[in-house]
Structure 1
């Protein structure tokens, strides 16, 4: 039998058809493609914002080492705009607004004085931690520790004054510690009233000097007469003798001037405040506060200005207390929220103490103009602090004050100092803005 053909009649047909129709297919598609590109141009793939930020962070890995980053809500254009604005920002008027972001640190910060560590002492109403100061006419950025450290690089900043100076210092140390750990390099044996920390990352020194009057004085104690003695014509050398090694001073006084005291100018007694049994004229304490601060600022200007090496001076204004009742008769500060605008007026002693401090700083600024490198400014925190009756330790100056069966009314309260973290952190936010302003003026050659 002959072989049977097994080849399909369609075996070679696909190749033949492809060769025949391919040119016509190309001719038909090409005009359509050109027309499509004309109407809808090709777009290059674009990175998402997250991808861009990730790429930037990877590329500029050492940016923080070269220059401190601005806060995310404080752009470089905003910085230039504020720097070019001759009108200073007024932080004294505003309101406390809710801020769910909370503080930068907690009660585990190792530098907080035990009596102000409200969290570890058992305070459970933590609502006081979630408020921010909102000035009326400007913004107050959240504290940026890297910015602050960069501004005090290779410098010594000293807090000098009473326990409110220490309160502010400890707040600053806790906020800075979130970026760089401070190292305690000096402390004395007198209740740690003189201490010094170093930030190795920036070669910066932060110190505290106990000097509740700024001028020379002897404090009352059980072993001494029950009144303070102040020499209003002499600065306290316990801190003033170190002026040559200090680049910035933050001064804070006020509450110790309310205590019984005898006042001297040289060897002459000027009078006293609440000194029954002594044959001295009662002269109160307002003029004494003014004279003591004037002596202090004059000494700083003379010692630093005459040598031409300058210094920056900040005076933190009087911080009101919030006792309801007498402080030594179970007075307390039970409020749980800030005052609203208009609910509490700045008046009486609080207003007068602030007024004296602001006026003396302004007068000293005029005297300092004859010297280069001297800058003085009042850190005006009186009004914003007045509006925070909820921010004091109260009974939590003691650990777990109600754990026992002790009667609540008998628990001693601290309504002068501030919980840490707490409202005093805002003082240092404003302090940072002052330093940024000064740095801008320096770069512009003002």
Structure 2
């Protein structure tokens, strides 16, 4: 009894009592979330189905539920939400390139900012910037690809930067790499320019407007050495392949005096690049430490006749989404998606697929159109016909690409 009595009189120092109490509090609050963060999906195959946030009729997240058989968050509809969208204001994010600031460049409407993606059968978790930074503490997240992936990178920075004090954040660019750092969390969100993933003659991050595009076979390590050590890797590649002509493949190096160049159908060349990416991931990424994602093709809306619109129209003056749930863009989109499906189904490594294609197909209203910084002065003929220079490929921010990142957030932390 004396021994028990003496133990009761022993007190831990206040610092340790506070630390233990804080740890218990965090464990209680975030236990459901922490249990799945950065885990490899194969570790859950014998456990419960994916967990998603419930949503009341008024759109307020209230807790968790299990969806029988899982829930396809990429299958749903766009719902108007004037109170909770956009997730940030254009003028509040200084990192948006002038090619994407539609309000600054005179767009008269804001409707494109107020649509929320609602999956059938479940709801996306509410995006929480502070929670995400905590989960990224000491880690690197990198987007790799073309200007559309750069837009998703900027969207992610805009979603996250406001909770970081001005003195504790920075954005720096060097050649193909742009890095946003949050010092408090020792974390970074990064973008690496590699439009084909493989080495190409379009690899200059600033001067890359080449019409005769050439990629070098088996050259993914040229860029891949910059991706090693990243904790979350988000790939995309699509836009630069769509030339309407066969792709030129270089055997050898760009320094060779006599270049051995062959031509290949776009789908075959695209398949070659994706296989190189999968092999690189298998060789260089530890699946227990790294999460790898691939964002599917971002659709364009260059011909309004595809959705039953004007014969000569495009995305210009479009202010509402396509309502037909069966709408699916061009045939070239289907063929590329088939290649992606083929390669990923055969892959022996875990790469999470972000299927943003069809949900983005509906959003003919969300492009930058004519409301952006122009690369060169417009001719009188162009000014007289705005449709002729409308950008129906890239997207205004805030807007559609914020939803891409909400889906990434859901797959990353609530797999």
Shorter-chain TM range is 0.7 to 0.9
The reply to whether residue 397 of structure 1 matches residue 336 of structure 2 is: no
Q: Distance in 2 between matches of 1:167 and 1:212?
A: 13
When residues 354 and 177 of structure 1 are mapped into structure 2, their CA distance, relative to the original with a 3 A threshold, is same
Alignment match, 2:134 = 150
Unaligned runs of 5+ in 2: 1-21, 34-52, 254-258, 306-311
Equivalence map 1:232-311=2 (5 Å): 232-238=217-223, 240-259=224-243, 262-264=247-249, 266-267=251-252, 283-305=264-286, 310-311=289-290
Alignment match, 1:338 = 321
TM superposition shift of 1:280: 7.4
Contact kept, 8 Å, 1:322 with 1:333, in 2: the verdict is no
The reply to whether residue 168 of structure 1 matches residue 143 of structure 2 is: no
TM-score normalised according to structure 2 size: 0.73
Contact kept, 8 Å, 1:321 with 1:416, in 2: the verdict is yes
Larger RCO: 1 or 2 (CA < 8 Å, sep 6+): 2
TM-score normalised according to structure 1 size: 0.69
SS in 1 for 2:393: coil
Q: Distance in 2 between matches of 1:160 and 1:145?
A: 22
TM superposition shift of 1:218: 1.5
CA RMSD, Structure 1 to Structure 2 (Å)? 3.7
Task: Report how many residues are paired.
Answer: 347
Contact kept, 8 Å, 1:330 with 1:412, in 2: the verdict is no
The reply to whether residue 429 of structure 1 matches residue 380 of structure 2 is: no
Q: Distance in 2 between matches of 1:145 and 1:178?
A: 8
Q: Which moved more, 1:126-135 or 1:160-169?
A: 126-135
Q: Which moved more, 1:139-148 or 1:117-126?
A: 139-148
Alignment match, 2:393 = 416
Aligned counterpart in structure 2 of residue 322 of structure 1, from 278, 290, 301: 301
Alignment match, 2:351 = 376
Deviations 1:343-378 (A, max 9, x none): 6235511122223224323322xx12xxxxxx4111
Contact kept, 8 Å, 1:151 with 1:435, in 2: the verdict is no
Alignment match, 2:99 = 115
Contact kept, 8 Å, 2:124 with 2:407, in 1: the verdict is yes
TM superposition shift of 1:335: 1.5
TM superposition shift of 1:145: 1.5
Q: Distance in 2 between matches of 1:184 and 1:66?
A: 33
